[in-house]
A = this chain, B = another copy of it.
Amino acid sequence: MQLSSFTDYSIRVLIYLAMLDKDELSNIATVSEHYHISKNHLVKVVHKLGQLGYIDTIQGKNGGIKLKKSPKQLNVGQIIRQLEPLELLNCGASFCHISPACRLKKYLIDAKNAFLNELEKYTIYDLINNNQKLLNLL
């Protein structure tokens, strides 16, 4: 049970951008260097976060990336729900032939929702609020 590195990197990008001053721009190269994540991965992550309306990309010489919404509007549970493949087991009938009658699927869906409901209590702001220690590390 592990979140994908795509989700991991996405949250880290959002944390990074949330630590910047309002309207300050960053770029993929800088974020890549800070986290030691390959630029290729981050291009895909930033593209997806743009599609989902979390990140604005400003084109041009003085362009860059920044959050499109305030960190208080970025809900951690909702972000994970949007980014992460959440099928806990491969329960398709062609894969497991007790699937049509198995009750485990329903219980796993309830458990997944309990997991996401817990994370929906928090925003990206909660991850960085008042966190001078985090600022020093960035």
Contact = CB atoms under 8 A, between A and B. Distances in A.
Interface stretch (A48-56, A58-66, A83-91): A83-91
A4 B2 CA distance: 9
A76 B114 CA distance: 16
Q: Interface residues of A toward B: which range?
A: 35 or more
A85 B2 contact: yes
Interface string A110-121: 111011111101
A88 B3 contact: yes
User: Taking chain A's interface residues, is the majority helix, strand, or loop, or is none over half, making it mixed?
Assistant: helix
A43 interface: no
Interface of A: 1-4, 8, 11-12, 15, 34-36, 76, 84-90, 96-98, 100-104, 107-108, 110-112, 114-119, 121-122, 126-128, 131, 133-134, 136-138
17 contacts: A1-B115, A2-B85, A2-B87, A3-B89, A8-B89, A11-B104, A35-B98, A76-B104, A76-B107, A101-B133, A104-B127, A107-B122, A108-B119, A111-B114, A111-B118, A114-B115, A115-B115
